Structure 1
Amino acid sequence: MFVVVFLFFTLNGTAQENINKNKFRQLKQEFATPNVYRTASGAPGHEYWQQKADYVMDIKLDDKNQRIYGEETVTYHNQSPDALGYIWMQLDQNMRAKDSDSPKIRTSQMGERISVRQLERMESDFDGGFKIEEVKNAAGNLLHHTIVKTMMRIDLPEVLQPGESISFSVKWWYNINNRLQDGGRSGYEYFEDEDNYLYTIAQFYPRMAVYNDVEGWQHKQFLGAGEFTLPFGDFEVSLTVPDDHVVGATGELQNSNEVLTEAQIRRFEKAKSAKEPVMIVSEDDARKAEKNKSEKEKTWIFKAKNVRDFAFASSRKFIWDAMGVKFGDRTVMAMSYYPKEGNPLWEQYSTRVVAHTVKTYSEFTFDYPYPVAISVHTDRIGMEYPMICFNGGRPESDGTYSERTKYGMIGVIVHEVGHNFFPMIVNSDERQWTWMDEGLNTFLEFLTEQEWEYGFPSRAGQPYKIVDYMKGDKKYISPIMTNSESVWNLGSNAYSKPTTALNILRETIMGRELFDFAFKQYSQRWMFKHPSPEDFFRTMEDASGVDLDWFWRGWFYTTDNVDISLDKVTWLQPKTDNPELEKPLEKKEDEKLVSITDIRNKETIDQTVTVIDPATHDFYTTYDEYEVTKKDIEEYKKKKADYSEEENKIMEGNYNYYQLDFKNIGGLVMPIILEFTFDDGTKEIKRIPAEIWRRNNVEVSKVFFFQKEVSNITLDPFLETADVDLDNNNWPPKVHPTRFQLYKSNFDRRYGGGSNPMRDAQKKSKE
């Protein structure tokens, strides 16, 4: 029987890690136990429930003193199986109260350089907290309430039983923050030249906290990084603002006949079927309004159904354009509100980007269900709310802009409009798990940007872009599954790394078809519900049929990185036993084995004794051990006759066998993707699933065979796995240069920034 003696395969059982450390062990203790509310498949259970909170609000915007005054009536529906003796509300503006914990826990240092703005924020005496004037029940009686920093507990006079509802009212006011000076997701921007304000207002009212089967009451304090967790409900909001203001808000305008002109109403109707944005309020209209301030007021009324929050924007500076986006028989209005300072960028791009975003996200999830999607221009901010978002990206005062500003603006609009899907509809717990909205949304942002323009400079998605973060000092890196207030680098942790992980799942682990189907299942299962991380992980596996526990563990629960080393390549060929082939090869190999002594002897010894004296010769003096004899050929024929057809094929096929030895240096197990380049210049790709590491997480070997000779091997040739060290990815070894940057100390720190060839070209044309 023929045996290829040099091939020795092993399961490497002796190198198997302890079961508690094996990277392919199932996620069990990390996951909550499935129950009647949440199933093991990742779907809502047959007894899934969630609370509902409806709001009727009267809000006044004080443009002279930059204040919000409000009264709200909240109807809270207890749809849980639990009796509630008290309820909790969020008071997020209290982060700006005088006694707030946020500035106290913010670390600070003074180096050789510090900006005036940083100093001002350290010493800020701005008081932006809620001033709660009263909390009353439906009968007008005061309700006992306790303010706990950014939360408020309302004690109920009677226990709220399952299936019951309660209505109560809150009256309050607060000072609006200057967003550029004080920071914040909401606030105002002041335009000194005109003495005008642009307001983007959110977190402006006491909001019901979420009560659910996973956390109970989610009343973790708002410290600034962790965002918001809110129940769904219906809103009716009356916004009283200066008479010359234009208002955009969550929901649909109810009294357009009272607040819009007949011309504006006609333009809005035209926009519904337009192929490009239609101006409702033109730049000329806005310029006139910002010069002639009205002392009167008017009230805009908006209604929104099944939303988790409400936000609005108001200014006399607003230009307003819109266009319709068709979803079957429905028309969604994509709209933008922006001051003249946003042009020409905003007029050209914003509403078109809004329309593109709702269409593209819908393809990967579900049809956008709301009637409007709004993008509002502010400076230096991006923030999202149901149907409306606030976005940066401002041109220079001369109307020119850099490439970075343009693509930064398009990117932030895609991102913030996309948040309508995650978490405004797929309503995850932002306070606890930032990655569930930011990571999933940034992933879809990446797909949407690439469909906007080939080669769009997306900030995240491509695996190589996360390498610097992944290979950083582990003291300053947290697992993705970490609360947002406790991570070192929120942007990389909650945005870029999850995006990269999902892109690797889609492109390398699962494939686009399986991934897209599973991701759509998750989106549709949990739209208008409150998913947990386990619901996402379980659904992706349930719908795809792919075991991904090893992937979730590595990417989401650890700080390991990908660094797979191609440590050694052994090139082997089977012995054919054919003397006419083997003996010349043996001679060639032996001729390579030349010692320094042999070399020097040939240089110094002119003639040996056997050369000088023929009498010293015998049989062995002239014997050629590499000569092919008749006996050698006869013995080979006998052996060959005993070979099977398959064995003869291998023997005569001139196969080249290559044993590749790999090491997992970074700790994160991943597929092994190899590109073999042959001596004739052709290439072949081999993809080995990550499960090759299942019995040994540290070292594995794999044998490949080809009829051609291999001249080069590259590990991860398409940069699919975020491998942090490419210098150990090649055979023969190859060192990749690292480029460093030279720069002047007075580099541009402006928002957007970057070179501005457009402005340079305009200057040149005027010379």
Structure 2
Amino acid sequence: MRKHSLSFLCGMALCATGAAYAQTGAASQYQPAALFSPVFYTQNGDAIHAANGNPGPQYWQNRADYRLHATIDTTSKELTGTAIITYTNNSPDSLEYLWLNLDQNTYRSDARSNFLTGATAPAHTNGFVITGVTTSPNAAVQANYTITDTRMQVRLAKPLAPKGGTITLQISYHYTIPGAFGGRTDYVATSKGTIYEIAQWFPHMCVYDAARGWNTLPYLASEFYYDYGDIDYTVTVPWDIIVAGPGDLLNPETVLTKQQIARLAQARNSDKTIMIRSAAEIGDPASRPVHSGTLSWHYLMKNTRDVAFGASGAYIWDAAGVRLPNGKKSMAMSVYPVESAGNEAWGRATEYLKGSIEYFSEKWFPYPYSVAINEAGIAGGMEYPGILFDGITDKGKELFWVTAHEIGHNWFPMIVGSDERRFAWMDEGFNTFIDIYASDVFNKGEYAPKRDAEYAEGGGNPADEIVPVLVDPACPSIMTAPDAIPEKYRHPLTYFKPAFGLVLLREQILGADRFDYAFKQYIAHWAFKHPQPEDFFRAMDNGAGEDLSWFWRSWFYNNWRYDVAVTNAVNAKEGNRQVVRISFANLDKQAFPAVVDIALLNGTHQRFTLPVETWLQQKATTITIPVPAAADKVTIDPDAKLPDADRSNNVKAVSGE
């Protein structure tokens, strides 16, 4: 927030006039009682979700631990797997049944996702083919289960006890890996071999929480909502394939050469990128520890909500150390084909990844995993804990922006475990917000300002570019269910508007200090937990010490537009004082605190902030400002930081008394 001297504030006289807005020639749509209604939160805080936005003293969440074994048949393009899931019921409820996500079923010809937009899918698979399901609290028992689209219900013979009851499921399955039509998981041929991007590759427990019980939304187009646990996974592939997986590699001596192990040790302590496997080594048997058969790559990733991996014999592989603020270390690495090599392209991918992790860790919350991987393929920008699937053809600023954005998802929603299927803005919007500032600091602003397809979509001023969204009567609100948002509005509402809203909150409403403190508190309290939207709103209200319900109501729950005008400005004398009397009118439904600039005839400028409380009772106001010389013109929002629908009425020449 901008600061003013006490004498200046004491010299500012405010008085209301109901006629000021009429001078604009437009009727005001503004209703103070609608914007500032005191009833915003629909229920009181409780022992699970506290009134201050923190997890309450009785907060609980369930846990899912996985032991996974998968084998990839590179001829048939089939993955065969076994998932052993240990599920812990920490809720106060006995569970008579369990629900699991079967996301591969979205590729079936009869999947509900085929009917979301009416577009015809280019190809299909049979999804998960389940060959066995057993439960074993004591001994293995064939499970009673049913599959509905992308969900499986396991009906238990005996309810799972509350407050710590556990059960183990064992599921055997296989599926055909989708090709390019997979979107978030696929395979693609390159000049040196096929690249596999493997995600949504095992049955996943649905979340059971205090907000809704079982969260069983089908997998249509929106992303994921999972519980946390340890994932111990083994992937068996032909000997010449490298498996780039997040987590700790538990058997490096089996799947890597001694030289590669030594290079990785060097990279962990290096700020410069170290080559682990060069382009010249692709296809060289000496770059692999065996020269026939298969190898099984064994990884362990702790306290994670998911895991994905890349696999290919075509990978160039490099890495560098990551310095974390808590004194711990991590490692950034990239894997990519020869088509993506070169410093103008993926040769700097690890540098981009390292820089982004170090910035986000210092600014918001330390990166929690031992490794982060940037993988080049055709998924073209998809995130999972500890690994990103970015585009083979990305270069320069586009590669930096997508890298910063996708690794940023490790904070939202991988650390702060929000529900992407219901509230995509808590995932994409929050992450777009934090990577705006990553662009400002990386390599002294080499790729700043961020103006990619997720923020300021036309490359210009975001305050101006959001206006078409706000004035579009058909545009839904941010709080619309993600799968119900038409594609036309998906990026504006899921990425751009919530991200720009947080920029407004930080830079125009609260100021950086109050915003950053409250936002960091929110992240710390909800790390590896499941916040609801009201938890975020309450956390910001409490941490910043501001009732922001007017902002949440207008920006998130509605799509209200903003138009404040300078309707009159007059030079005058009050005794021996030179003053300027300025009239303002709020012409639409939104309000913001706004900077006002007075250009004086002596060539200097004087500024003050018109607070949002200006509009608590009135649609129009006139204020008297002492000035050292007569004024020439008055401008509201002179730096064009606010999403004003009509800037033509923001400037007024000052007349004589």
| Mapped contact 1:17–1:695 kept (Cα < 8 A) | no
| Mapped contact 1:232–1:306 kept (Cα < 8 A) | yes
Equivalent position of 1:340 in the other structure: 338
Report the Cα distance in structure 1 between the residues aligned to 2:107 and 2:38, rounded to whole angstroms: 44
* Aligned pair partner of 2:653 in 723, 732, 744: 732
Equivalent position of 2:449 in the other structure: 456
Report the Cα distance in structure 2 between the residues aligned to 1:700 and 1:493, rounded to whole angstroms: 33
Equivalent position of 1:687 in the other structure: 609
Report the Cα distance in structure 1 between the residues aligned to 2:635 and 2:408, rounded to whole angstroms: 37
Equivalent position of 1:61 in the other structure: 72
Identify if the C-alpha distance between structure 1 residues 187 and 32 changes in structure 2 by more than 3 Å, giving closer, same or farther.
farther
Report the Cα distance in structure 2 between the residues aligned to 1:688 and 1:461, rounded to whole angstroms: 27
Report the Cα distance in structure 2 between the residues aligned to 1:695 and 1:152, rounded to whole angstroms: 54
Instruction: Return the TM-score normalized by structure 1.
Output: 0.77
Q: CA deviation at 1:709?
A: 1.6
Report the Cα distance in structure 2 between the residues aligned to 1:19 and 1:476, rounded to whole angstroms: 21
Is 1:221 the counterpart of 2:218? The answer is yes
- The one-letter code matched in structure 2 to 1:446 is I
Report the Cα distance in structure 1 between the residues aligned to 2:636 and 2:86, rounded to whole angstroms: 60
| Mapped contact 1:290–1:316 kept (Cα < 8 A) | no
Deviations 1:569-612 (A, max 9, x none): 141424xxxxxxxxxxxxxxxxxxxxxxxxxxxxxxxxxxxxxx
Equivalent position of 2:155 in the other structure: 155
Identify if the C-alpha distance between structure 1 residues 123 and 35 changes in structure 2 by more than 3 Å, giving closer, same or farther.
closer
SS in 2 for 1:501: helix
SS in 2 for 1:540: helix
Equivalent position of 2:400 in the other structure: 410
Report the Cα distance in structure 1 between the residues aligned to 2:391 and 2:610, rounded to whole angstroms: 44
SS in 1 for 2:411: coil
- Of 43-52 and 362-371, more deviation after overlay is shown by 362-371
SS in 1 for 2:413: coil
- The one-letter code matched in structure 2 to 1:82 is D
Equivalent position of 1:607 in the other structure: none
SS in 1 for 2:461: helix
Report the Cα distance in structure 1 between the residues aligned to 2:118 and 2:109, rounded to whole angstroms: 18
Equivalent position of 2:555 in the other structure: 555
Equivalent position of 1:710 in the other structure: 631
Q: Structure 2 matches for 1:575-594, cutoff 5 A? A: none
Equivalent position of 1:303 in the other structure: 300
Deviations 1:35-82 (A, max 9, x none): 110110001100000000011111001111111111111010000000
Q: CA deviation at 1:725?
A: 2.4
Equivalent position of 1:231 in the other structure: 227
- Of 7-16 and 369-378, more deviation after overlay is shown by 7-16
Report the Cα distance in structure 2 between the residues aligned to 1:507 and 1:8, rounded to whole angstroms: 25
| Mapped contact 1:27–1:553 kept (Cα < 8 A) | no
| Mapped contact 2:416–2:526 kept (Cα < 8 A) | yes
Deviations 1:293-326 (A, max 9, x none): 9662110000011100011100001111111112
Report the Cα distance in structure 2 between the residues aligned to 1:375 and 1:361, rounded to whole angstroms: 16
Instruction: Return the TM-score normalized by structure 2.
Output: 0.90
Report the Cα distance in structure 2 between the residues aligned to 1:18 and 1:442, rounded to whole angstroms: 30
SS in 1 for 2:543: helix
Deviations 1:529-557 (A, max 9, x none): 11111111111111111221111111111
Is 1:320 the counterpart of 2:313? The answer is no
Report the Cα distance in structure 2 between the residues aligned to 1:270 and 1:562, rounded to whole angstroms: 55
Q: CA deviation at 1:31?
A: 3.5
Taking only the aligned residue pairs, the percentage that are identical comes to 32
Report the Cα distance in structure 1 between the residues aligned to 2:425 and 2:15, rounded to whole angstroms: 42
- The one-letter code matched in structure 2 to 1:425 is I
Q: CA deviation at 1:458?
A: 3.0
Q: CA deviation at 1:504?
A: 1.0
| Mapped contact 1:407–1:457 kept (Cα < 8 A) | no
Report the Cα distance in structure 1 between the residues aligned to 2:544 and 2:122, rounded to whole angstroms: 52
- The one-letter code matched in structure 2 to 1:188 is Y
Report the Cα distance in structure 1 between the residues aligned to 2:597 and 2:244, rounded to whole angstroms: 54
Deviations 1:112-162 (A, max 9, x none): xxxxxxxxxx26342251111111122332101111101111111100011
Equivalent position of 1:51 in the other structure: 62
Equivalent position of 1:266 in the other structure: 262
Report the Cα distance in structure 2 between the residues aligned to 1:236 and 1:23, rounded to whole angstroms: 50
- The one-letter code matched in structure 1 to 2:246 is T
Unaligned ranges ≥5, structure 2: 1-12, 22-27
Q: Structure 2 matches for 1:501-580, cutoff 5 A? A: 501-566=501-566, 568-574=567-573
Higher Rg:
1
Q: CA deviation at 1:22?
A: 2.3
Is 1:495 the counterpart of 2:501? The answer is no
| Mapped contact 1:242–1:294 kept (Cα < 8 A) | no
Equivalent position of 2:24 in the other structure: none
Report the Cα distance in structure 2 between the residues aligned to 1:713 and 1:9, rounded to whole angstroms: 18
Report the Cα distance in structure 2 between the residues aligned to 1:347 and 1:124, rounded to whole angstroms: 30
Identify if the C-alpha distance between structure 1 residues 231 and 375 changes in structure 2 by more than 3 Å, giving closer, same or farther.
same
Identify if the C-alpha distance between structure 1 residues 356 and 319 changes in structure 2 by more than 3 Å, giving closer, same or farther.
same
- The one-letter code matched in structure 2 to 1:243 is W
Is 1:652 the counterpart of 2:576? The answer is yes
Is 1:359 the counterpart of 2:358? The answer is yes
Report the Cα distance in structure 2 between the residues aligned to 1:322 and 1:92, rounded to whole angstroms: 32
Q: CA deviation at 1:177?
A: 1.1
Q: CA deviation at 1:105?
A: 3.0
Is 1:169 the counterpart of 2:159? The answer is no
- The one-letter code matched in structure 2 to 1:228 is F
Is 1:664 the counterpart of 2:625? The answer is no
Identify if the C-alpha distance between structure 1 residues 492 and 725 changes in structure 2 by more than 3 Å, giving closer, same or farther.
same
Equivalent position of 1:9 in the other structure: 15
- The one-letter code matched in structure 2 to 1:61 is I
- The one-letter code matched in structure 2 to 1:219 is T
- The one-letter code matched in structure 1 to 2:99 is W
Deviations 1:370-396 (A, max 9, x none): 11111111136111111111111516x
- The one-letter code matched in structure 2 to 1:676 is I
- Of 480-489 and 70-79, more deviation after overlay is shown by 480-489
Q: CA deviation at 1:9?
A: 2.7
SS in 2 for 1:471: helix
Report the Cα distance in structure 2 between the residues aligned to 1:8 and 1:175, rounded to whole angstroms: 70
Equivalent position of 2:38 in the other structure: 26
| Mapped contact 2:30–2:590 kept (Cα < 8 A) | no
| Mapped contact 1:12–1:695 kept (Cα < 8 A) | no
Report the Cα distance in structure 2 between the residues aligned to 1:34 and 1:12, rounded to whole angstroms: 39
Q: CA deviation at 1:265?
A: 0.5
Report the Cα distance in structure 2 between the residues aligned to 1:711 and 1:538, rounded to whole angstroms: 43
- Of 134-143 and 332-341, more deviation after overlay is shown by 134-143
Identify if the C-alpha distance between structure 1 residues 341 and 242 changes in structure 2 by more than 3 Å, giving closer, same or farther.
same
Report the Cα distance in structure 1 between the residues aligned to 2:29 and 2:406, rounded to whole angstroms: 44
Identify if the C-alpha distance between structure 1 residues 8 and 351 changes in structure 2 by more than 3 Å, giving closer, same or farther.
closer
Is 1:433 the counterpart of 2:423? The answer is yes
- The one-letter code matched in structure 2 to 1:664 is L
Report the Cα distance in structure 1 between the residues aligned to 2:305 and 2:380, rounded to whole angstroms: 21
